[in-house]
Amino acid sequence: MGYNKIIYLISLPILLIIIKWLISFYYLDDIIFNLKLLLNFNDKQYFPFIISLSNLDFSPSNNNFYVADGTTSFPYASIIYHAFLFNFFGLSSIIIGELVFYTSAYFLIYYFLKRSGISKSSAILSTFLIFFSPILIEFITFYFKNLNIENIKNVIFDYHLVSLRFPRPLITDLYFYLSLITLLNFRKNNFVGKSDYIIFGVLLSLLLQSFIFLFFVISFCYLIIFLSNLFTSKEYYKEIIKLNLLLITVFFLVSLPFILQNIYAEQDYSSRMGLFNIDFNSRKMLLQETINHYLSIKNLIYLSTIFIFYFLLKKKFSKNYLSSIRLYLLLLISSFIVPLVFATFSPYMVWFKHFFDVKNLIFIIGIILIISFIIENFFKKFINIKLLIIFYIFFLIGHTGYHFIKISKNYFNNQEYWNDMNQVIITSDKILSKNKLNNIFSNSNLINNYYIYKNQNISYPDGFVNALSDNQMENLMINSFKSAGYSNLEFRKLLNNKISWRSYNEIFQISHLKYQFNYLNTYFPIEDYLYEEIQFLKNRNFFLSESIAISQKEINRLVKKYENHKIINEIRPDVIIIDKREFSMNFTLEKNYTEIFDSKYFRLITNIN
């Protein structure tokens, strides 16, 4: 009977992924197979990392004309499995990866609850409920049109736990769950299990090389456990120190690739990732805003709920559950302390808001523990195989309905756009020269990803996924725009910043987060920006890492470089694909180019005879 229950647990996520892809393939019936897969890939910006890592290329340029001098410093531990699968299954590895890792998330949450003293039936039902919660919230929002409920889902569940987004949380959260299970094992084995230290050393390294914000919180949590154990077990302190030296040794050995990767990283890459120096005044403001965030109503309500739950029901906790809830409280406290420590002592800052994502993930673990406790203590006697089957069918139907509504809505909103994209790719593939590498220019990441997969040269590279210098990427961009017939005036217009909920610029494709522009940090001196751009900063959004803006001096530098640039024929685009939905690119064609395709959403231009 026990094994049958596990089959229900494992088969549900497998069926859900298969059903999701079948629904998607049904609606995308007329789209070529490779494009179907890429359209359903979460998150498409990370796809080139899979290609480069599968080729063991740590200095990708996606263009044979330029050779990268350094490497990217993007952490590969969350990419490596998909890169391995890609070598065997090609683009179909996207589906296989979802099947393997989504199912693993179900199992690891179940196993964590089992290690916490929850029975199999209660653990399975709790896992089902947690993974169904975001969809239930979606349905409630749909029928009651309550935006506050939708915001709860967005804040707590999006990019956490149940999302199929690659690589976070699809891969990164698995390391987190394994870390929790290992921390429970430490206590069960009285902190003397050698294998626990080896495993935890590996997991800490994988966290460092996948999602560093989780690494900081887990490491801090373990540091507290280590110090507590050291002072309370004085007769074993030599053994404890010896085992922790083993842990540190394993950690550094497994982290060697990441260390070397950063030593040899392209110098410009870190700024494109959003890394910047932080001064005293900015540090002081960040600390104040972080404390204000902690004192928000939603955080205070949750903290109060957790501690009331703990102190009121503590006597009802089993020994294993008490260990788990204490570990959780330590994690929760760590998730509040670590950002403050980081903001106080780190000389650099990058994507600080991800600390709040970690806090939200830890909130979810608390919800899981509370729900499992309630089910175990108040509803366990009602749980039998028939009830599990009923819930299984209910969740399967609910998920299927959710995916059907979501995919069909997405399809009908994008049907014409996707059909145009399909047509432009089919047409482009037919005219590409089969005997040489072709230079592909597109303002669409998805189109570029398709031709990276096809091993073509990319003439308008993504600064996030390649190791070229800023100067090399500027040359590629300028050469492509100038070859196509972009005038100096049109190029200047292209560089103008756009202001909405954030500041944005069309050359984000090459610069990514280099030109940071928020209340906490601006890449250029504030006086170098326009008045309306400076006014934007008054919204005091400290955590808006995605906001970028180019100063007027930088625009003038790029325009001057554009005016003086002599076209390099070796990297002149052979095929130009303009995605009109990305941004408008109106220009007068050079005489050696011919327009092949012009639709509502795409233009296809080529100089191939």
User: Each residue of 368-405: pLDDT tens digit?
Assistant: 999 999 999 999 888 888 888 999 999 999 889 989 98
Confidence of residue 147 (pLDDT cuts 50, 70, 90): low
Residue 562 pLDDT greater than 50, yes or no: yes
Cis peptide leading into residue 525 (ω within 30°):
no
Q: 354 and 219 in one domain?
A: yes
Q: What is the pLDDT of residue 154?
A: 62
Pairwise CA distance, residues 195 & 247, whole Å: 10
**Looking at the domain assignment, is residue 110 inside a domain?**
yes
Phi, psi dihedral angles at 288 (to 5 degrees):
-65, -45
Summarised one tens digit per residue, pLDDT across range 323-378 is 999 999 999 999 999 999 999 999 998 889 899 989 989 988 998 999 999 999 99
Q: Report which secondary-structure segment, H or E, holds 276.
A: strand 276-277
How does the average pLDDT of the chain come out, rounded?
90
Statement to judge: residues 96 and 243 lie in one domain:
yes
Contact 323, 183 (CB under 8 A): no
Q: Are residues 449 and 366 in the same domain?
A: no
Same domain, 355 and 448: no
Residue 351 inside a domain? The answer is yes
Q: How far apart (Å, rounded) are the C-alpha atoms in residues 59 and 48?
A: 12
pLDDT digit string, tens, across residues 196-213: 999 999 999 999 999 999
Q: What pLDDT was estimated at residue 156? A: 60
What are the b/e assignments for 572-592, b being 16+ CB within 10 Å?
bbbbbbbbbebeebebeeeee
Residues 165 and 309 in one domain: yes
CB contact at 8 A, 266 and 315: no
My answer on whether 376 and 445 are in the same domain is no
Q: How many CB atoms lie within 10 A of CB 515?
A: 22
Residue 367: strand, helix, or coil: helix
For residue 393, being part of any structural domain is answered with no
345 and 465 in a single domain? The answer is no
Picking from 383, 398, 419, the residue at the C-terminal end of a domain is 383
The larger pLDDT score, comparing residue 477 to residue 158, is at 477
**Rg over CA atoms, the chain:** 26
User: Given this model, what pLDDT does residue 153 score?
Assistant: 61
| Same structural domain, 477 and 360 | no
The conformational region for residue 526 under phi > 0 = left, psi -120 to 50 = alpha, else beta, is alpha
**191/76 same-domain check:** yes
Q: Per-residue pLDDT for 584 more than 90?
A: no
The alpha carbon of residue 98 and the mean position of all alpha carbons in its chain are separated, in whole angstroms, by 15
Per-residue confidence (pLDDT) for residue 142, from 0 to 100: 66
* Rounded mean pLDDT, 86-96: 95
Q: For the segment 5-16, what is each residue's pLDDT rounded down to a tens digit?
A: 788 899 999 999
CA–CA separation, 476 vs 61, rounded Å?
Answer: 11
* Contact partners, residue 57, CB within 8 Å, separation at least 6: none
Tokens found for residue 73? 């410093």
Contacts of 531 (CB under 8 A, 6+ apart): none
Per-residue confidence at 1, pLDDT binned at 50, 70, 90? very low
Domain count, the chain: 2
Residue 216: inside a domain: yes
3-state secondary structure 412-474: HHHHHHHHHHHHHHHHHHHHCCCCCCCEEEECCHHHHHHHHHCCCEECCCCCCCCCCCHHHHH
pTM comes to 0.93
Question: How does pLDDT run across 454-494, given as a tens digit for each residue?
Answer: 999 999 999 999 999 999 999 999 999 999 888 999 999 98
In the predicted structure, residue 423 carries a pLDDT above the cut 90: yes
Residue 28 lies in a domain: no
Q: CA 202, CA 205: separation in Å to the nearest integer?
A: 5
Sequential DSSP letters for 137-161? HHHHHHHH--HHHHHHHHHHTTTST
Using N-to-C axis directions, what is the helix angle for 354-374 and 93-115, rounded to 10°?
Answer: 50
The 10 Å CB-count burial string (b at 16+, else e) for 456-473 is: bbbbbbbbbbbbbbbebb
Is 489 found in the same domain as 376?
no
Residue 453 in any domain: the answer is yes
In a domain, 273, yes or no: yes
Instruction: Among 111-115, 147-151, 244-248, 529-533, name the one with the lowest average pLDDT.
Output: 147-151
Residue 46 DSSP class: G
Banded model confidence at residue 444, pLDDT cuts 50, 70, 90 = very high
At residue 595, the 3 state secondary structure works out as: strand
Q: Which domain holds residue 487?
A: 432-606
d(CA 21, CA 29): 12
Q: Is residue 261 part of a domain?
A: yes
- Cβ-Cβ contacts under 8 Å for 28 (sequence gap 6 or more): 35, 36, 39, 411, 418
380, 122 contact by CB (below 8 A): yes
Alpha helices by DSSP H, 454-568: 470-484, 488-495, 508-511, 531-536, 552-564
Token pair listed for 154: 């967005």
Q: List the Cα angle 532/537/538 in 5-degree steps.
A: 95
Same-domain check for residues 465 and 360:
no
Shared-domain flag, residues 215 and 94: yes
